[in-house]
Amino acid sequence: MFRNKFFFFTLLLTFAGHWLPAQDYRWQQRVEYVMDVTLDVKTHKMTGTQKLTYYNNSKDTLRKVYYHLYFNAFQPGSMMDVRSRNISDPDGRVKDRIFKLKDDEIGYQHIQSLKQDGKDTQYKVNGTVLEVTLPKALLPGAKTVFDMKFESQVPLQVRRSGRNNREGVAYSMTQWYPKLAEYDFQGWHAYQYVAREFHGVWGDFDVKITLDPTFVIAGTGKLKNADKVGYGYEEPGTTVKRPAGDLTWNFVAKNVIDFAWAADPDYLHDRAQVPNGPELHFFYQKNDKILDNWKKMEGFAIRHFEHMNKTFGKYPYDSYSIIQGGDGGMEYPMCTLILGEGSLGGLVGVMLHEAAHSWYQGVLASNESLYPWMDEGFTDFSSQESEAVLLNTSLAEAHAGSYNAYFSLIKKGLQEPISQHSDHYNTNTAYSTASYAMGTVFLHQLKYIIGEENFYKGMRLYFNTWKFRHPEPNDFIRVMEKVSGLQLKWYMSYWVNTTKKIDYSIKTVLENGGTFVTLERMGEFPMPVDLVVTFKDGSKQLYYIPLNETMGGKPDEKVIPRKDLEVWPWVNPTYTLKIDRPAAEIASLEIDPSQRLADVDRKNNTADLSNGLKAYSNIIR
């Protein structure tokens, strides 16, 4: 039957490529760190060894690898310093403080040796990036072991990491070790550190830290030798046998993208259990001024984890630590460092935000540098909703501040597309509004497009589908498409890649055997439209106009009785609908009464017909 056996074999090979699963390119690298460091609390110098097993799961042969050396940013003339002294709206915490650091206050990471599988590597340091040429190419599917010796000086705390923060916390040890950069289907992500976002490789950490025994350490992961350390880590009732001399703490963390810690001799340590969730640890200084607030925060933290677990997916680790330190609030896997001396409201607000990062930075771990809106925005969105639930305030208004920040950015003329790399925004204002506020609005507006039920189902499905996998924007919107049955890429493309605006208006209201309302799309950004008609008898009717681009509509959200209308083709500037009641019976009309549309001019969204139609006939706008 077959002309020859090779023909069939060739045919198989030809088609084999097409039969590969579509997501085959989504391999991810893996790391296993074993570190042993000693910190001298008098000189603030740290020496250490790092054994890093690196698994190349890519299809590429790697001849180089890159590490981040973040402490090097805290030196006069570093890119972070120069950037801060040249940007028009510098971060008040940084300004020219790096420029003014003295030799014994700067940070550095000196690599003393680096071997790959026992052979010396060639390496060079360029600012905060270490470029390593491998003596032996790392083949696809192979693993290799890097052995490094390093010496660091912990900088005076300027931004995030460092010693002696403004509340007197001794060490905020974040971005503190030579950290391998991520390599993925987009290549290396070895960005110079200019104070913004991060990215990391999934893996395991086994970290031994030796220091003065009067210091208490808090950080990522679980303390393995709690019975030798104590300080509230031991099982209740255990007798702690602390050895003489400096104390070694051994933390392990599995399946995380980073490891952070903090140390202070004055830390108190409280523990609290989240029902069906992690054990929470609180570390804060013995200080009568803050004790009460930290105790009160514990209840909020427990309820926050319960709400997040139920609404956005289950936190997968068995512990989480809230640690006084740093310079505001900063998220790390399984822990956060936050300032501790503010008001209860401020403290709780920061804690809610940082803990919510566990879902987006800690577990989904999208590339924050490329897509800060998927981390900061989604985090702000969920923590704002959690806060509304915890404080029993209006959920509908939970995101009003984010909308206002977006509108204000436009008014200032500073808006830039949010698709760009976080380091490269012209101003801190544009970066922070794009990441936090516009990321939040992106989600709340998506809720408007696909309906509330689909939205929350989609958020949980996204978390469960993409946890531990570094999702990309398209991965998110595909989940939302699948859950809603709608086409949504147009929405993400407009919101993320452009600075186009949404502006719908009520153009005319005319009577001619019924009431004819003409709506106009004044902005370049098309959207489906909710129009609510309030009648003089007090009843309301929602007219729902789907956008043709979505290829369908959202389910009835059952807030106001709804009538479904024909689609609005996105190219059409206007749309006319008929209301089957005389205009005399209508009190008012309103586009988007839920205020979820980021409509830049809400004044033209309403029409008050209580004085007749005159004002809305033949209007030339």
Minimum CB separation from Zn ion for residue 174, in Å?
A: 14
Shortest Å, Cβ 436 to Zn ion: 7
Least separation in angstroms between CB 357 and Zn ion: 6
Q: Of 6-14, 370-378, 478-486, 533-541, which segment contacts Zn ion by CB under 5 A?
A: 370-378
Cross-strand partners of 593: none
CB of 437 to Zn ion, least distance (A): 12
Q: Quick one: tokens of 189?
A: 């992500």
Q: What is the spatial distance between Cα 352 and Cα 338, in angstroms, rounded to a whole number?
A: 11
Q: Which residue, 148 or 351, has its beta carbon nearer to Zn ion? A: 351
Q: Taking contact as CB under 5 A, which single stretch among the options 163-171, 220-228, 371-379, 569-577 is the one that binds Zn ion?
A: 371-379
Buried b / exposed e along 119-140 (16+ C-beta atoms within 10 A): eebebeeebbbbbbebeeebee
Q: How far is the CB of 244 from Zn ion (least distance, A)?
A: 42
Q: Give 594's contacts (C-beta < 8 A, 6+ positions apart).
A: 396, 448, 530, 559
* Pairing of β 267-273 and β 187-189: unpaired
> Between helices 489-497 and 438-450, what is the axis angle to 10°?
160
To Zn ion, the closest distance from the beta carbon of 377 in angstroms equals 9
CB of 162 to Zn ion, least distance (A): 19
Distances, alpha carbon 38 to alpha carbons 128, 154, 386, in Å: 22, 12, 40
Nearest to Zn ion of 167, 375 (CB atom): 375
C-beta of 434: minimal distance to Zn ion in Å? 13
Is 376 or 481 the residue whose CB approaches Zn ion more closely?
Answer: 376
Residue 368 or 481 having the CB closest to Zn ion: 368
Q: In sequence order, which residues have a C-beta less than 8 Å from that of residue 547 and are 6 or more positions away?
A: 526, 527, 528, 567, 568, 570
Residue placing its CB nearer to Zn ion in the complex, 111 or 351: 351
Closest separation in Å from C-beta 435 to Zn ion = 8
Closest approach of Zn ion to the CB of residue 319, in Å: 20
CB distance 26 to 185 below 8 Å: yes
Only segment of 36-44, 279-287, 313-321, 375-383 that touches Zn ion (CB under 5 A): 375-383
Q: Which is nearer to Zn ion, 211 or 351 (CB)?
A: 351
Point out the residue whose Cβ comes nearest to Zn ion.
376
Cβ-based nearer residue to Zn ion, 372 or 471: 372
Q: Bridge partners of 543?
A: 531, 563
Residue span binding Zn ion (CB under 5 A) among the ranges 42-50, 86-94, 369-377, 532-540: 369-377
Rounded to a whole number of angstroms, the minimum distance from the CB of residue 444 to Zn ion is: 17
Q: Tokens 């008040």: give the residue.
A: 92
Select from 103, 77, 105 the least CA-distant residue to 162: 105
Q: Where are the alpha helices (DSSP H) in 358-451?
A: 372, 378-391, 400-412, 428-432, 438-450
Q: Which stretch binds Zn ion (CB under 5 A): 31-39, 205-213, 373-381, 507-515?
A: 373-381
Nearer Cβ to Zn ion, position 206 or 376? 376
Binding window for Zn ion (CB under 5 A); candidates: 368-376, 535-543, 565-573, 609-617: 368-376
DSSP string, 104-163: TTS-EEEEEEEEETTEEPEEEEETTEEEEEEEEEE-TT-EEEEEEEEEEEPPBSSSSSEE
Contact call for residues 527 and 592 (beta carbons, < 8 A): no
Q: Which is nearer to Zn ion, 376 or 475 (CB)?
A: 376
What is the chain's percent helix, strand, coil content, to nearest 5?
30, 30, 40
- The whole-angstrom separation of Cα 77 and Cα 108 is 13
Whichever of 376 and 503 has its CB closer to Zn ion, that residue is: 376
Number of residues that bind Zn ion (CB under 5 A): 1
Nearer to Zn ion, 367 or 515 (CB): 367
Least distance to Zn ion, CB of residue 568, Å = 36
Q: Distance between CA atoms of 63 and 345, rounded to whole angstroms? A: 51
Q: What are phi and psi of 485, to 5 degrees?
A: 70, 10
Q: How far is the CB of 356 from Zn ion (least distance, A)?
A: 8
| Stretch 259-278 residues interacting with Zn ion (CB under 5 A) | none
Would you say 258 or 376 has its CB closer to Zn ion? 376
Stretch that binds Zn ion, among 28-36, 39-47, 202-210, 374-382 (CB under 5 A): 374-382
Copy the structure tokens of residue 128. 């905060």
What stretches of 5-101 adopt beta strand conformation (E)?
30-40, 45-55, 62-68
376 versus 592: smaller Cβ distance to Zn ion: 376
Q: Do the Cβ atoms of 27 and 58 come closer than 8 Å?
A: yes
Q: Per DSSP, which regions of 429-551 are E strands? A: 504-511, 515-521, 529-535, 540-545
Q: Tokens representing 85? A: 């002294």
User: Based on CB atoms, which residue is closest to Zn ion, 358 or 515?
Assistant: 358
Asked if 101 and 155 count as a contact pair (C-beta separation under 8 A), the reply is yes
Q: How far is the CB of 378 from Zn ion (least distance, A)?
A: 10
Output the six-digit token pair for 478.
């595909």
Scanning 37-45, 230-238, 372-380, 487-495 for contacts with Zn ion by CB under 5 A, the matching segment is 372-380
- Which 495-514 residues touch Zn ion, going by CB under 5 A? none
**Binding flags for Zn ion, 301-320, as an x/- string (CB under 5 A):** --------------------
Task: Kindly list the residues in this chain that would bind Zn ion in the complex (CB under 5 A).
Answer: 376
